[in-house]
Structure 1
Amino acid sequence: MGFEFQMLDGLQTIHTSFLDTFMISITKLGDAGIVWIILTVILLLIPKTRKAGGYMAVALIADLIICNVIIKPIVARPRPYSINKTVQLLVTPLKDYSFPSGHTAASFASVSALYFAGKKKVAAGALILSIFIAFSRLYLYVHYPTDVLGGLIIGLLCGWIADVIIKKIAERKAKVKA
């Protein structure tokens, strides 16, 4: 964990009032996956994008189960600010565990779901926001770098899971129609 604290502590040296405000705003977009849930609902409501909304819904549900129900309670990793109490937090301390980063996982689950659904341009825009959200978790000292990396990997996996599930459903529907 030494290298992780070195990275996090190094990020503390780049703080400015602008970056603080920006990172707090960016991270709030990921709180409870709200930006991704809103995007999912919008996509589900528009017939032309309903498939992509379905992909995102499945990916986000998979992410919720894998991250919050299974992995976080098993790993039970304390957050960096619980170990290094000298850092002044810019956000309210969280009550759940650190690994994996749920903000990052939900973000990358959404990116990969959009990609697998064939919405590559939307996925590219979502990727930019996802990178900012992931970085904000480090900047704000609420996650270790490996939490963010783990969240990224789990998120990508959840997008792939959505692809597999949606394709299986489509195959079954095709068999029923035939």
Structure 2
Amino acid sequence: MGIELQFLNLIQEIRTTFLDVFMSNVTKLGNVGFIWILLTIILLVIPKTRKSGVILAAALIVDLILCNVILKPLVARIRPFDVNTAIQLIIAKPQDYSFPSGHTAASVASVVALYLAGEKRLWKIALILTCFIAFSRMYLYVHYPTDVLGGAVVGVISGYIGYKVTLRMSRHSGIN
């Protein structure tokens, strides 16, 4: 058994009923980027935070393309629960590939976008939630540690590109 599966199995040793419920609910916030899309909409609606909302939207779009359209089908890594079939999942089985973690990528992209947009308090709150979401993916046995790490890298890249694209577009259109 590989070191990544050993690490996931080690995490299984800390499982409790409370953590099962907590991690299942935390991971649901990241399903299809729900919490980050909701935050984007809220930021877009408020005139004072509209530019941050545009940056966040751009980061999430870049993340969607990099993670779900390009990398997951290209790498086509099967999930850990398909390798270690003795594990009982407590959430519905994801149907896509494992690498990179889309939950982690969208979450990190959001943190980076919020940080670069200058949302001083919001990015810190998002970072805490992101750590829980990323860990939940391993706790729930649906991602390997390198899937989460890869998702974090994709998220950083997506957040940065989303920020840069938004800045460039606002300069060319004359909108601040």
- Tell me, yes or no, whether TM beats 0.5: yes
Unpaired segments of 5 or more residues in structure 1?
A: none
Say yes or no: does 1:159 pair with 2:159: yes
Question: Greater share of helix residues, 1 or 2?
Answer: 1
Q: Where do 4+ consecutive residues of structure 1 move more than 4 Å?
A: none
Provide the rounded CA distance (Å) in 2 between the counterparts of 1:170 and 1:96: 35
Q: Which amino acid aligns with 2:12?
A: Q
Over aligned residue pairs, what C-alpha RMSD do you find? Answer: 1.1
Task: Single out whichever of 94-103 and 162-171 deviates more from structure 2.
Answer: 162-171
Number of positions where the alignment pairs a residue of Structure 1 with one of Structure 2? 175
Q: TM-score, normalised by structure 2?
A: 0.97
Provide the rounded CA distance (Å) in 2 between the counterparts of 1:41 and 1:68: 21
Q: How does 1:50-129 map to 2 (within 5 A)?
A: 50-129=50-129
Shift of 1:173: 2.3
Residues 50-85 of structure 1: per-residue CA shift (max 9 Å, x gap)? 011001100000000000000000000000000000
Say yes or no: does 1:37 pair with 2:37: yes
Provide the rounded CA distance (Å) in 2 between the counterparts of 1:114 and 1:171: 19
Provide the rounded CA distance (Å) in 1 between the counterparts of 2:116 and 2:41: 18
3-state SS, counterpart of residue 23 of structure 1 = helix
Shift of 1:127: 0.2
Shift of 1:4: 0.4
3-state SS, counterpart of residue 14 of structure 1 = coil
Provide the rounded CA distance (Å) in 2 between the counterparts of 1:171 and 1:89: 48
**Identical positions, percent:** 57
Residues 95-149 of structure 1: per-residue CA shift (max 9 Å, x gap)? 1000000000000000000011010210000000000000000000000000000
Unpaired segments of 5 or more residues in structure 2?
A: none
Residues 19-73 of structure 1: per-residue CA shift (max 9 Å, x gap)? 0000000000000000000000000000000011001100000000000000000
Q: TM-score, normalised by structure 1?
A: 0.96
